[in-house]
């Protein structure tokens, strides 16, 4: 029987981790299967085809580390467009002449091949591909910068980055795409300006949550030029589908509506630019993913609009302790959140707490998504991947607009 005819019960369960560019915008998603078997690759591709993964995530590729490219079927290009797949192959596998012939064929079709697990330090043993993938978990290796300078133009991948300093080193070495848990250990120092802006955002969130008058909201917006600019930009953005020209703060607030305004303010907490460059704060796409995935799981389980809003909030606020460098209970204190939301955020208790535990597993390379965890949260494998796809669809949209 063709693997692509197999049932969803054989599909591997994996976190789909973001691979981003220097601006922290989504470039690809990488299943954390370490090195996937060909069978797992084909099962995933079939599942993603069934849920319209590639149609919904325009411009986002799937990056797969595979053990044996010889087992990829000859009709692969008829199943998934070559432009949407990137394969990472160990340098040792690439040394086999038969494998090299297969890889050259894949390259001729438009598939992108990255060479990983390098044995050589000065040049690649196979020069068919000019693009490499390097593990940077202990820092950028000393030999990388001269190696990449001789491989100009490649979409070189720095993976397993653990902190922002490593990210900056990787950018300086010439890497173009990046992955790892570095977003969860941000730089220790926050400027006074950023601290003041975030304090205003927290105050705004408090006002919105208690349904304060628009006049009070407008006064706070007027105190922050960047916040005001972001508000007007948002009202015109594709992410919120507004096309009306805006002439006042009150009009902008009314056009968004309180629900959308609250969500945007939550997102904007993370959206300040990097101190080192023009990219988004790396925490922003991770927080956006958590919030959207929480909402999608809640919706899949039949949650009401209010329940979906609470789930969204829990996902978004689950990283505030990293952003502020303070205990989460201290950060949340001014927001007057419900007991259910606080229990989920602080103790992973209740239905929302169970969903948050799943979402955290789906957002880090340090843990694995467990099938029983899915079932406990009311999902099967297909539903899980549908929710993840929907979440990244929103992340992709808002990160382009910010």
Domains belonging to the chain, first-starting first, are 3-184 (3.20.20.450), 192-268 (no CATH), 283-401 (no CATH)
Residue 267 to residue 342: CA distance in whole angstroms: 19
Closest CA to 118 of 95, 138, 97: 95
Closest CA to 272 of 177, 198, 166: 198
Residue 345 to residue 374: CA distance in whole angstroms: 19
Q: Is 216 helix (H, G, I), strand (E, B) or coil?
A: helix
Q: Looking at residue 9, what is its pLDDT?
A: 46
Q: Looking at residue 272, what is its pLDDT?
A: 59
Cα–chain-centroid distance for residue 90? 25
| Residue 307: HSE in the Cβ half-sphere, 13 Å Cα cutoff | 14
pLDDT tens digits for range 175-186: 999 999 999 986
CA angle 113, 117, 122 (to 5 degrees): 90
Q: How many Cβ atoms sit within 10 Å of the Cβ of residue 66? A: 19
Q: Looking at residue 266, what is its pLDDT?
A: 81
Cα torsion 377, 381, 386, 389: sign: positive
- Name the H helices within 8-122: 38-50, 53-56, 91-94, 97-109
Q: Looking at residue 268, what is its pLDDT?
A: 78
Residue 356 to residue 350: CA distance in whole angstroms: 10
Helix, strand, coil percentages (3-state) for the chain, rounded to 5, are 55, 10, 35
| Residues whose CB falls within 8 Å of the CB of residue 256, separated by 6 or more in sequence, listed in order | 234, 235, 240, 242, 264
First to last CA, the chain: 47
Looking at residue 88, what DSSP letter applies?
E
Residue 184 to residue 391: CA distance in whole angstroms: 19
Yes or no: say if 118 and 132 are a contact pair by the CB < 8 Å rule.
yes
Residue 356 to residue 287: CA distance in whole angstroms: 12
Yes or no: say if 282 and 183 are a contact pair by the CB < 8 Å rule.
yes
Q: Looking at residue 358, what is its pLDDT?
A: 95
Yes or no: say if 356 and 291 are a contact pair by the CB < 8 Å rule.
no
pLDDT tens digits for range 101-156: 999 999 999 999 999 988 877 788 787 888 999 999 999 999 999 989 888 778 99
Residue 2 to residue 277: CA distance in whole angstroms: 48
**Per-residue tens of pLDDT for the chain, all 402 residues:** 333 343 344 788 999 999 999 999 999 999 998 777 788 888 899 999 999 999 999 899 999 998 888 888 888 878 888 999 999 999 888 888 999 999 999 999 999 999 998 887 778 878 788 899 999 999 999 999 998 988 877 899 999 999 999 999 999 999 999 999 999 986 665 555 566 677 777 788 777 777 777 788 777 777 776 777 777 766 666 555 555 666 667 777 777 777 777 887 788 778 754 545 557 889 989 999 999 999 999 999 999 998 998 999 899 999 989 988 889 998 888 777 889 999 999 999 999 999 999 999 999 887 788 889 999 999 999 999 999 999 999 999 888 766
Q: Looking at residue 120, what is its pLDDT?
A: 75
């Amino acid at each position: 029987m063709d693997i692509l005819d197999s049932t969803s019960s054989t599909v591997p369960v994996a976190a789909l981790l973001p691979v981003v560019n220097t601006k922290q915008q989504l470039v690809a998603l990488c299943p954390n299967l370490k090195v996937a078997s060909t069978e797992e690759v084909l099962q995933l591709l079939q599942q993603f085809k069934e849920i319209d993964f590639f149609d919904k995530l325009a411009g986002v590729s799937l990056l797969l580390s595979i053990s044996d490219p010889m087992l990829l079927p000859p009709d692969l290009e008829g199943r998934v467009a070559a432009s949407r797949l990137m394969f990472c192959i160990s340098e040792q596998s690439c040394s086999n002449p038969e494998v090299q012939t297969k890889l050259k064929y894949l390259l001729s079709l438009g598939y992108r091949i990255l060479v990983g697990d390098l044995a050589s330090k000065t040049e690649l043993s196979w020069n068919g591909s000019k693009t490499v993938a390097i593990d940077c978990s202990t820092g950028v290796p000393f030999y990388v910068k001269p190696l990449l300078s001789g491989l100009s133009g490649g979409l070189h991948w720095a993976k397993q980055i653990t902190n922002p300093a490593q990210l900056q080193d990787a950018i300086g070495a010439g890497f173009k795409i990046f992955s790892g848990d570095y977003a969860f250990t941000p730089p220790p120092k926050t400027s006074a300006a950023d601290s003041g802006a975030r304090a205003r955002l927290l105050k705004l969130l408090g006002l919105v949550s208690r349904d304060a008058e628009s006049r009070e909201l407008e006064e706070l917006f007027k105190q922050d030029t960047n916040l005001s600019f972001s508000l007007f930009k948002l009202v015109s953005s594709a992410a919120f589908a507004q096309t009306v020209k805006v002439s006042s703060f009150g009009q902008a607030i009314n056009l968004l509506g309180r629900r959308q305004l609250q969500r945007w303010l939550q997102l904007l907490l993370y959206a300040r630019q990097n101190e080192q460059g023009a990219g988004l704060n790396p925490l922003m796409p991770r927080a956006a993913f958590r919030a959207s995935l929480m909402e999608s799981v809640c919706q899949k389980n039949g949650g009401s609009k209010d329940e979906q809003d609470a789930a969204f909030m829990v996902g978004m606020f689950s990283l505030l302790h990293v952003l502020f460098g303070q205990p989460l209970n201290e950060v949340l204190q001014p927001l007057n959140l419900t007991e259910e939301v606080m229990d989920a955020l602080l103790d992973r208790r209740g239905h929302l707490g169970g969903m948050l535990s799943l979402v955290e597993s789906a957002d880090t390379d340090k843990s694995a998504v467990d099938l029983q965890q899915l079932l406990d949260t009311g999902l099967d494998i297909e539903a899980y991947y549908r929710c993840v796809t929907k979440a990244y669809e929103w992340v992709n949209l808002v990160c382009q607009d910010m």
